Chain A
Amino acid sequence: GENVEQHPSTLSVQEGDSAVIKCTYSDSASNYFPWYKQELGKRPQLIIDIRSNVGEKKDQRIAVTLNKTAKHFSLHITETQPEDSAVYFCAASNTGNQFYFGTGTSLTVIP
């Protein structure tokens, strides 16, 4: 199956700074790359996604970039706020049923 690696595993930033989380994947057939946010004790929820025909997508303070040639994609959060503190997961999926997650990044935004 797909192998998704995610870095860093933990990340602390000062409020207002930017945070970047990076993922790589192994299956060249993967064409859908969502990012999920999981707050403590809650379920993972989609925050942004990108498809293989797009290089970059932005939604307010959140942006995702994709480099299909290098098989990596990144999540960028600007102007971080304490409520951004959570565990973030990248994932990779192909047109079949495979849906694999990265190992997660625990983000702490320090007020």
Chain B
Amino acid sequence: DTAVSQTPKYLVTQMGNDKSIKCEQNLGHDTMYWYKQDSKKFLKIMFSYNNKELIINETVPNRFSPKSPDKAHLNLHINSLELGDSAVYFCASRDTGPNTEAFFGQGTRLTVV
């Protein structure tokens, strides 16, 4: 059973399009994240949600809109895609509280052409 799953795994789309990436975790965790990993491999936090509430929004363009319908799901919608949005996007989850490990999804490789 996959603990944190993302769909799709690959996404190729044209500039200006709108796309969504879905994430689901079956670990019962309270907190979920979206990270962006660019070509230099840097894992940059984008958003953090705790029990469906937005906690962290790290200077992300408002073209990116996360949505958490329940605490097991955190989806990422991106409007008006740009070339610079090309990256691997990782979803992660962890229990709230001290000293807890974050579990990652398999990543979604987004390519904007």
Contacts and interface: CB of A to CB of B under 8 A. Distances in A.
Interface of A: 1, 31-32, 34, 38, 42-46, 49, 51, 87, 89, 91, 95-101, 103-104, 106
A104 B43 contact: yes
B98 A87 contact: no
Interface residues of B, number: 28
A58 to B, nearest CB: 18
Given A43-B90, A43-B104, A45-B104, A100 B45 contact: yes
A43 B107 contact: yes
A99 B33 contact: yes
Interface string B47-88: 010100001101000000000000000000000000000000
Nearest to A2: B45
A31 B41 contact: no
A8 B97 CA distance: 30
A98 B96 CA distance: 10
Interface string B97-108: 111111011110
13 contacts: A1-B56, A1-B58, A34-B102, A42-B106, A43-B106, A43-B107, A46-B101, A46-B102, A51-B98, A99-B45, A99-B102, A101-B43, A101-B45
Q: Classify the interface of chain A: helix, strand, loop or mixed.
A: strand
A103 B94 CA distance: 21
B31 interface: yes
B61 to A, nearest CB: 18
Contacts of A100: 45
A103 B50 contact: no
Contact of A98 (B48, B90, B105): B48
A31 B97 CA distance: 11
Contact of B41 (A1, A32, A106): A106
A97 B41 contact: no
Interface string B7-21: 000000000000000
